[in-house]
Amino acid sequence: MSEVPLTHILFLSTCLFFIGIYGLFTRRNMITMLMSIELMLNSVNINFVAFNKYLYPEKLDGIFFTIFVITIAAAEAAVAIAIIINLYRSHHSIDVEDATEMKY
Amino acid sequence: MSPATIIFYIISAFILGTGILAVTTRKIFRASIWLLFSLIGIAALYFWMQLEFLAAVQIIVYVGGIVVLIIFSIFLTIKSGEEMPKPILIRSIFSALAVLFGTRFVVRLISLYTFKPISTTAFNLSVNQIGTQMLDTKDFGYLLPFELISILLLAAMIGCIVIALKSNDKEATTFQNSIQ
């Protein structure tokens, strides 16, 4: 348990965060962009939990922040999917390149 | 290397591999299934850190809620069997470069910093402790954020229903046309 240093867990969450960034940059489909955002939020959760466990073992604040982030991610996914379904009704596509009315 | 260490590296390889597949595969339904596996791997990481409560929350909310919601919206919006168009080559090259440099930069920052634990008491978490502190009104209590989050969830729920509600304008016009 203690043989794995904190830095290795941070490396893991860094890699996961940048995988999410890569998905957000390359994908043009709204649902897959939402998936990338979920990956990024999860990497932040890993960081909170790791810092709480390794640096402040007598406190619980990291756990609470993780629970709140999970809750807000759920609310955000629900709202985003409602918007996506509404956009599909009006544009018949969920590609971000096709929704250009408010550009410029 | 103890078994716990080996298990940690196996779990991290699983999370990263399925995460990469989730953002690179071109079939959207497969992408959502890879995302599901990545989230299950993160729940396994919480189990490995002996945070059983958080692992259960992760499985219930993410795997049972968000991924199912994403799969539903895939079925409602696009043909799931179709392949998505390939990303533009220039864009994927430059984003891969940006991601590689960013990862290297942050990894170097982390490895240069020495983390010193403040106290050395053992970390043991009980659900009892979480509940007591979360609904506490005294110092370090989390009652106010808890109530705010519940209001936010209610607002998000009502907002989703209002946004996704089908407007009846078209039905009303066709009805009028049929009358005329």
CA distances from A78 to A11, B70, B99, B154, B164 (A): 30, 9, 28, 12, 10
Tens-place pLDDT, residues B57-100? 999 999 888 999 999 888 888 766 677 777 788 888 999 999 99
Q: Does the pLDDT at position A87 exceed 90?
A: no
Looking at residue B180, its pLDDT comes to 55
When pLDDT is cut at 50, 70 and 90, the band that residue A2 belongs to is low
Taking CB atoms and an 8 Å limit, are A22 and B23 in contact across chains? yes
Q: Does the pLDDT at position B178 exceed 80?
A: no
Assess A13–B contact: CB distance below 8 Å, yes or no: no
Tens-place pLDDT, residues A8-30? 999 999 999 999 999 999 988 88
CA distances from B178 to B151, B170, B175 (A): 45, 12, 5
Looking at residue B10, its pLDDT comes to 95
Q: Does the pLDDT at position A41 exceed 60?
A: yes
Assess B84–A contact: CB distance below 8 Å, yes or no: yes
Half-sphere exposure of B141 (CA within 13 A, CB side): 9
User: Locate tokens 């259960």: which residue?
Assistant: B56
CATH of domain A6-98: 1.10.287.3510
**Residue range A55-81: average pLDDT?**
90
Looking at residue A20, its pLDDT comes to 94
Interface of B with A in 41-60 (CB under 8 A): 42, 45-46, 49, 51, 53-54, 57-58
Please report residues of A whose CB lies closer than 8 A to that of B164: 82, 85-86
Half-sphere exposure of A96 (CA within 13 A, CB side): 13
Q: For chains A and B, what is the number of CB pairs under 8 angstroms?
A: 207
Q: Does the pLDDT at position B46 exceed 80?
A: yes
Domain boundaries, chain A: 6-98
d(CA A5, CA A2): 7
Assess B134–A contact: CB distance below 8 Å, yes or no: yes
CA distances from B51 to A7, A12, A14, B42, B60 (A): 19, 18, 21, 12, 14
Q: Does the pLDDT at position A66 exceed 90?
A: yes
Nearest-neighbour CA in chain B from A98: distance (Å): 14
Q: What does pTM read for this prediction?
A: 0.88
In terms of pLDDT, which residue wins out, B167 or A58?
A: A58
**Residue range A32-57: average pLDDT?**
92
Looking at residue B81, its pLDDT comes to 65
d(CA B156, CA B138): 29
In terms of pLDDT, which residue wins out, A39 or A97?
A: A39
Beta carbons of A37 and A20 less than 8 angstroms apart = yes
Of A23, A58, A67, the CB nearest to B119: A58
Long-range contacts, B55-61 (Cβ 8 Å, 24+): B57/A67, B57/A70, B58/A70, B61/A70, B61/A71, B61/A73, B61/A74
Which 3 state secondary structure label does DSSP give B86? coil
Tens-place pLDDT, residues B31-40? 999 999 999 9
d(CA A76, CA B86): 27
Taking CB atoms and an 8 Å limit, are B70 and A42 in contact across chains? no
Q: Which of A35, A41, A48, A85 to mutate to test the interface with B (most CBs of B within 10 A)?
A: A35
DSSP string, chain A: -TTS-HHHHHHHHHHHHHHHHHHHHH--BHHHHHHHHHHHHHHHHHHHHHHHHHH-TT--HHHHHHHHHHHHHHHHHHHHHHHHHHHHHHHS--BGGG--TT--
d(CA B51, CA A70): 15
Tens-place pLDDT, residues B114-158? 877 776 777 777 888 888 888 888 887 889 989 999 999 999 999
